Amino acid sequence: MILRRKILPRNVSDALVTLFTLVIIPIVYYFELFVVLPHYYSQWSAGYTFHFVTGTFILFNVCSNYVAIVVCDTSIYGRLLPTILGPNSRFCAVCECIAPPRSWHCPTCNVCILKRDHHCMFTSCCVGHHNLRYFISFVFYIFISTVYASYYNLFFAFEFAEFGSWESIIKLIFPLASLFVSYSRHQMYLFIVLIVLIGGVFTGVLLYYHCDLILRGVVTHDRQQKLSPYDYGRKNNIIEALGERWYLVWVSPFLESKLPRDGVNWDVKQSLKAK
């Protein structure tokens, strides 16, 4: 793995979204395991221990995959690039080099990214060939954690939620705005519950979207293509994105899963070559 030279956000919007992500993850972890969980299980009982260990394992994968996304350099820096224009490659005037196939220039990172999928504001970096595996795992564990937590959160919230007046209903719908009007511990709990619920919906859609792209052998830039020249079949497409040990990447980002290609050289599907 080549490490990124600069990992700090390059603009205000990236900085704010990344800061929110770094703050909300430990807050939610504390809330779920030290506020909600003791409400249902006595401390260190069998049930409490099971959920505590499971939640901590999820947090480990969320944080470690997040760090891997940020520190992994998936740009053209340090790569042996082609010296002549080939099929699907092009000259990048900003980087002053020949950009390999499937790479595009990111205006925020100000560099060409190998197999660039998108620029992620939550990590302040691009997701591409070498860190897509960590991004998918990160989104997967965020989705699992939010669905897992929301099951208990909704029952927890309804125990103190009020529906007897318009004011109480407004507090349920707009918990953050209500905090500035009349702060209370329960109002803060409602805000966190809502954040977790929204996070589950958002990451669920995101996970479905990117899994569909992986299975079709495309990235966000060319998602409209009905027939991709880099579609090697579903299983091979998964290996192209997650590596040869794709079935183990979900356990830990520290497990090696070698990618079949270097992100610079790509084979076009034989059926399309013939055409």
Residues 6+ apart with CB under 8 A from 35: 189
Helices (H), 32-131: 37-40, 46-71
pLDDT tens-digit profile of 134-170?
A: 999 999 999 999 999 999 998 998 887 665 554 555 6
Does 223 reside within a domain?
A: yes
Return the active site residues. Answer: 120
pLDDT tens-digit profile of 249-259?
A: 999 999 999 99
Does 273 reside within a domain?
A: no
Residue 272: pLDDT band with limits 50, 70, 90: very low
Does 241 reside within a domain?
A: yes
pTM for the whole structure: 0.90
Does 7 reside within a domain?
A: no
Mean pLDDT value across the chain: 89
* Structural domain count, the chain: 1
Does 249 reside within a domain?
A: yes
Domain that holds residue 261: 12-267
Residue 181: pLDDT band with limits 50, 70, 90: low
Residues 6+ apart with CB under 8 A from 200: 143, 146, 147, 150
Does 56 reside within a domain?
A: yes
Question: In this predicted model, which residue has the larger pLDDT, 29 or 270?
Answer: 29
The CA distance from 98 to 83, in Å, is 7
Tokens of 54: 């499971």
* Short-list 185, 187, 202, CA closest to 150: 202
pLDDT tens-digit profile of 84-109?
A: 888 888 899 999 999 999 999 999 99
The CA distance from 16 to 46, in Å, is 40
pLDDT tens-digit profile of 38-89?
A: 999 998 899 999 999 999 999 999 999 999 999 999 999 989 888 888 888 8
